[in-house]
Amino acid sequence: MTSHLITPAGSSEPWRDASLPASARAGALLAEMTLQEKLSQLVGLWVGADASGGEVAPNMATMTKDAPSFAEAIVDGLGQLTRPFGTGPVDPVVGARSLARSQRSIMAANRFGIPAQVHEECLAGFAAWKATAYPVPLAWGASWNPELVQVMAEEIARSLRSVGVHQGLAPVLDVVRDYRWGRCEETAGEDPLLIGSLTSAYVRGLEGEGVVATLKHFAGYSGSRAGRNHAPVSAGWREVADVYLPPFEMALRLGGARSVMNSYAEVDGVPGAADEARLTGLLRETWDFAGVVVADYFAIAFLRSMHEIADTDADAARLALTAGIDVELPSVATFGAPLLEAVTSGRVPEHLVDRAVLRVLTQKIELGLLDADYDPEPSGPADLDTPQQRGTALALARESVVLLANDGVLPLAPGARVAVVGPLADDPYAMLGCYSFPAHVLAHHPDHELGIEVPSVLAQLRLHHDGPVTHAVGCDVREPGTAGIAEAVEVARSADVAVVVVGDRAGLFGRGTSGEGCDAPDLSLPGEQDELVRQVMATGTPVVVLVVSGRPYALGEHAEGAAALVQAFFPGQAGGQALAEVLTGQVNPSGRLPVGVPRDPGSQPGTYLTPPLGARNGVTNLDPTPLYPFGHGLAYHRASWGSAVVGQDEWGTDGEVVVSLDLANESEAEAAEVVQLYLHRTGTQVTRPVRQLIAFHRVVLPPGSTRQVRFRLHADLTSFSGLRTRVVEPGDVELLVARSSADVHATLPITLTGELREVGADRVLLAETSEHAALEVVR
């Protein structure tokens, strides 16, 4: 094999001239490439880093079709390397060396010296052995803290870059519509604004550190029928436009994401990987997206094997390439030999290949991969779990714990005898979501150590509570069998307080109770856990029900009998400590629900974002009202909510208005509040949600302090998809200053005045929020 050395920038290789625009450099390189060299840039190869430090090699052959050897795959170059760290447990230092050696082989094998772009999963932290496992996105949603999410993402990006990774396959922007869906844990909740705010912050964190963020799953994936993974989505264009698309708009415009990944699901009969109207018409022509669209894993081949809209892999490649997918991941099954044959036979025009390759090369140039001084060697020591990262993981876990109900039993009294029972009480995996490395990968390596410290709730309560702590498992997370419940009952009967830790264990495709492919038939707690709670409550000992899960479960049966209810959503490696600190009062709980908690297990689908007839009404006997609503959360110490004011009586349909709220913390402890602002209106040309979040702000008040929270709202924030287009419609509206979607502090009426106004992709997407001393005057 001939080695092609990188030469200094010059006229013979303008693509290496850093003084030229990236697009010009990419165009010059494209003009020199053969068809086979072009197609090599449009595929990825699933690899696993060699634990001995050797070259990467094809992995998971059963999931790739006719996978070539590594040497065969790189002859003409390679577009992407898939998950060299996220496929098996490999020491990060050794893995980085292995990756660098493989990059040099790739560069030497193709005549232009083009390296591969390397991507990894990073939703709840870099999905690699020994890397920090942060809280899952549903916990981000419970924090309502975009700034902290951005800090986390910056740390993740630095870890990725330190070992030679260029792209992260995160965040997930799907909007929960049915809590039975297994991937609820991967989303930031059920509201587009909350999700868009948090994921835009995540994107800014990754992109600000030079790592390509990948928005997924575009679009509508979470609307699958009956909460079944990959099931068809029955959503009209208004629901798509008003619910599923806004987070993507926000992450592109406010975050600067450079990559998008398609959804597996079909929407109204059109699979995401073949949806030209969205991947090209909307994404590129309307939103001006200039980055790279990557296929979700095997999604192009699924057009043939699962959706059955293509008869051959070549047909699938044609559909996807035409629609606007640029790179096939993680194989060469369709964009390899099948696409080569389709282009050479004239069935697929080569200009479509050129279009995709130009985007891929432009991004590689922007990443510095074609600069004359590019060096694939790791940039520094590969410590992927630093004290700073562990501190951020703990801070986010603390802010995500939601106190649902409390009769005074919490915080636990000093010296109290505490029984900690339940299948998740002493299980480190209870803290981790399905895309954390231990749950995602180490399930296939059961004898391998975790690589990070993940203390359980039991271990941390024994550390933080100064009284005796006893324990019994009671039952399994999902397997049948109640034999162990008797021991849990006896332990609880002998205690002053019983903490029953129930919920989920994350996994993939049926290996867990939450996660990708782990959908639920209803919202009862899995296995025998409801029965465990019933029998422990029957002892008469005050019971704290602690739910650690990837979705909300129906708790109506237990609400009356429980002394307290606490919800955590897979809070990461520091979750055990955060929960123990909240239970003992060392941390004042401040989380707010990003999803509602249902009363009954069969009350889904449905979320707070519903028009009038989706709520409780007199024409059906079924009441979908949640037990605890979106935005709900209690605390041990709360601030007082004072005057709420809107600055004027009229609001132009192209104008702004300021809403303010005074807060005072009269307690002797720090208090955190999440001020939520909802819109309510009637008389519109189409039905609208009863309440819709249009702004929020998390504020921390030291003891004895006051704050004024202000929202500057543009009328664009009231826009919706009308009969034909997105409009701002004049009329009477109410701005609801609230503690949750059901707990309104003040109703502020105002009239939108002026002409009906059509708005588009350049509309204002986010309110301006600020904090001030409470006596400052709005100017």
The rounded distance, in Å, linking the Cα atoms of 575 and 585 is 15
The rounded distance, in Å, linking the Cα atoms of 286 and 336 is 30
Q: Is the pLDDT of residue 54 over 60?
A: no
Distances in whole angstroms, Cα of residue 104 to Cα of each of 56, 332, 360: 11, 21, 19
Q: Is the pLDDT of residue 778 over 50?
A: no
**Structure pTM?**
0.95
Residue 3 has a pLDDT of: 37
Strand partners, 699: 673
pLDDT band at 615 (very low <50, low <70, confident <90, very high): confident
Backbone dihedral region for residue 50 (phi beyond 0: left; psi -120 to 50: alpha; all else: beta): beta
Residue 60 has a pLDDT of: 40
- Rounded CA Rg of the chain: 27
Q: Is the pLDDT of residue 147 over 80?
A: yes
Q: Is the pLDDT of residue 446 over 90?
A: no
Give percent helix, percent strand, percent coil of the chain, each to the nearest 5. 30, 20, 50
pLDDT band at 51 (very low <50, low <70, confident <90, very high): low
Cβ–Cβ < 8 Å for 495, 540: no
Residue 762 has a pLDDT of: 96
Q: Which residue has the higher pLDDT, 320 or 66?
A: 320
Q: Is the pLDDT of residue 541 over 60?
A: yes
Q: Which tens digits make up the pLDDT trace of 339-393? A: 999 999 999 999 999 999 999 999 999 999 999 999 999 877 779 999 999 999 9
